[in-house]
């Protein structure tokens, strides 16, 4: 049986939890993971607190194939992701020679001072490998199964583009959508029985409202075409039978 590849995400930052910044990275990561056959199983949003980051990271990195983080690797005092990741892996957080030289040259070329704050972006856990940043030079990093990336959406997306080709991927999830004019209260029981009868599928029910009426979108997911089609036919038959009876 083909291995199922899984992932989790940590979104790091007080600004996300306070509502000052609206996250745009979760949805992008979910889209990319689905496209390459990796199951994004969990997302946690944690504050700029070292103990909270360490605890969350240690919980998810043991459980999933990959972990992706966004946020907290900039130049300010509250950018503590690198320190926290180093603590989780029990290694020093220190200036990376190659990252330091890259940033030093970058700011020299722009005629800008390489300040202590900017130097912070060259710090990463000992033994980490760079994740290229084609947007603003300062690299992210990978250590173990953890990929640490910027929170700025354009930079996060550019870094993720560099990471994806290095990942082990799984069998892509197939999807079939069945529109249903009935509410969840009507279909809930029969749909539950169909799910039990098709354990190799995931059947989702999503209430909708449009044109002055409620309806339900039913989505069947499976990694096998045969399993998908068998469940889809049963769902369609349920919708048809309940519709005729109503």
Give domain 6-166's CATH superfamily: MoaB/Mog-like domain (3.40.980.10)
**Beta carbons within 10 angstroms of residue 26's beta carbon:** 16
Per-residue confidence of the chain (246 residues) as pLDDT tens digits? 467 899 999 999 999 999 999 999 999 999 999 988 999 999 999 999 999 999 999 999 999 999 999 999 999 999 999 999 999 999 999 999 999 999 999 999 999 999 999 999 999 999 999 999 999 899 999 999 999 999 999 999 999 999 999 999 888 889 999 999 988 888 999 999 999 999 999 999 988 877 777 888 999 999 899 999 999 999 999 999 998 766
Instruction: Give the length of the chain.
Output: 246
DSSP codes joined into one string, 37-48: T-EEEEEEEE-S
pTM: 0.84
- Token representation of residue 217: 């979108």
**CATH code at 174-245:** 3.30.70.600
Range(s) of the chain covered by CATH 3.40.980.10: 6-166
Rounded to whole angstroms, how far apart are CA atoms 207 and 151? 32
């Amino acid at each position: 049986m083909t291995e199922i590849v899984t992932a989790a995400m940590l979104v790091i930052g007080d600004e996300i939890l306070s509502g000052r910044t609206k996250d745009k990275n979760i949805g992008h990561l979910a889209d990319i993971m689905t496209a390459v056959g990796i199951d994004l199983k969990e997302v946690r949003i944690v504050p700029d607190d070292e103990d909270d980051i360490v605890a969350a990271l240690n919980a998810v990195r043991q459980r999933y194939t990959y972990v992706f983080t966004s946020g907290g690797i900039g130049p300010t005092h509250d950018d503590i992701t690198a320190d926290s990741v180093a603590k989780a892996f029990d290694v020093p957080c220190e200036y990376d020679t190659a990252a330091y030289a890259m940033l030093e040259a970058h700011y020299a070329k722009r005629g800008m001072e390489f300040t202590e704050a900017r130097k912070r972006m060259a710090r990463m856990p000992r033994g980490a490998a760079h994740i290229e940043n084609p947007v603003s030079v300062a690299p992210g990093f990978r250590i173990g199964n953890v990929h640490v990336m910027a929170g700025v959406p354009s930079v996060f997306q550019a870094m993720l583009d560099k990471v994806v080709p290095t990942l082990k991927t799984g069998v892509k999830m197939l999807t079939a959508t069945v529109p249903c004019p009935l509410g969840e209260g009507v279909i809930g029981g029969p749909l539950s029985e169909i799910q039990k009868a098709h354990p190799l599928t995931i059947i989702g029910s999503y209430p909708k409202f449009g044109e002055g009426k409620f309806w339900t979108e039913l989505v069947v997911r499976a990694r096998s075409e045969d399993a998908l089609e068998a469940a889809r036919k049963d769902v369609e038959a349920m919708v048809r039978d309940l519709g005729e009876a109503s």
